[in-house]
Amino acid sequence: MPDQSTPDAVSSPEDAAKGGVSRRRLLGTAGATGLALGAAGGAAGYAAAPSAGKAASAAPLTSVGSDAVMFHGKHQPGITTALQARGHLVAFDLAAGAGRKEAAALLRRWSATAQRLMAGEPAAQDDTDVARDAGPSSLTVTFGFGHSFFARTGLEKQRPVALDPLPDFSSDHLDKARSNGDLWVQIGANDALVAFHALRAVQKDAGNAARVRWQMNGFNRSPGATGRPMTARNLMGQVDGTRNPKPSESDFDRRVFVPDAGEPAWMANGSYAVVRRIRMLLDDWEKLSPGAQEDVIGRKKATGAPLSGGTETTPMDLDKTDADGNLVVPINAHARITRPDQNGGAAMLRRPFSFHDGIDTDGVPDAGLLFVCWQADPLRGFVPVQRKLDRGDALSTFVRHESSGLFAVPGGAATGEYVGQRLLEG
């Protein structure tokens, strides 16, 4: 779980959304670790003329409910979008006999549905009415392709080199049934019903073309829970995400997105998502004193400040020692090991969700982090950092990587296009 910071929220609010729901940007920015801060209960937006399938008089919406993210754009939504309070990650495998033609039709259906739901409109057919009164609630739907997708569709020559399988890591205890997949969908929203509504619509749209391989459900702090934007905390109680790259930084696009002239051409303005289900061994972690926990991470638990002093955003002094000559930030501290300047500049945009799936058969919490990170090339982003963690991260004793996936996420669809069209019809 590399230690990186919160990206600036990137949204495209408009005065009016399709279906008459006013689009308002959330007040405040969101952390890549899960914050989406807004004025819950603030200035209300009202649905005007309701679209087909809506109630005759739509319910008034707060700024949280009325906030909408554009589906069409240079990049797919859900990458630099402020992280939402609720998320679903789901992978699909194409059905037996389904190929390129069926995949193209599926992505066309999915894109049309995502565009409608993200605008606060009902699905075109058989809408469940689950999100009838909710508004768009910052819904995003993001689509990606796994390594196996290209053989299934006869597009092996178009498979990116960057999509080669990830190497094995010593911390891996991977469940193959909950790893990889032909297709991947990330859903996020600031209303749990909106997120579930989108999940059901995507599953229904799959029809006979694809079946669910695995699904994972996550959460983050609710919008407006704090009075000012703050980096989120993970289930270990640690401030998580302090050094994430920010969209305002000059090299952000180079680190996160495939360039216009990149290879293959259909991945221009796209990104690669590494998805890991990381179990936190909370019973063991919580036996440590707060001081011992801080030594594992290399940061103060209360504030996120480096143990070398200052505030959360103060650069970490890796050479500072105490009166006995010991390094203030331990040599195996997680925050030390994951620093980009300790990994040849390797960096990624972390955008995870926490999860809690009850108690497992051993009576311990099945909880942790649905780790999602974005980068222009995983061989220069996730892989070198994870290899470094493998060689002596103090946190590795308290986490277990239980599933893994790597997906090529193409650039955003232009108006009139569907996601992946340049691959499937190129």
Spatial separation of the C-alpha atoms in residues 161 and 266, rounded to whole Å:
13
Q: Among 379, 404, 413, 381, which residue's Cα sits nearest to residue 163?
A: 379
129 is catalytic: no
Cβ–Cβ under 8 Å, residues 242 and 374: no
Cβ–Cβ under 8 Å, residues 346 and 384: yes
Q: Which two tokens stand for residue 303?
A: 């504030």
Q: Which two tokens stand for residue 79?
A: 């990458």
Question: Is the C-alpha dihedral spanning 209, 193, 412, 68 positive or negative?
Answer: positive
The residue type at 33: T
Residues facing 272 on adjacent strands: 375, 408
Neighbours of 28 (CB within 10 A): 19
Residue positions counted in the chain: 426
Vertex 30 angle, CA 406 and 289, to 5°:
80
Contacts of 285 (CB under 8 A, 6+ apart): 236, 293, 398
Spatial separation of the C-alpha atoms in residues 314 and 127, rounded to whole Å:
49
Contacts of 53 (CB under 8 A, 6+ apart): 121, 122, 127, 129
Spatial separation of the C-alpha atoms in residues 84 and 116, rounded to whole Å:
18
Q: Which of 93, 182, 240, 253 is catalytic?
A: 240
Q: Which two tokens stand for residue 29?
A: 């920015």
The residue type at 141: V
Q: Among 225, 242, 174, which residue's Cα sits nearest to residue 35?
A: 225
Catalytic residues: 240
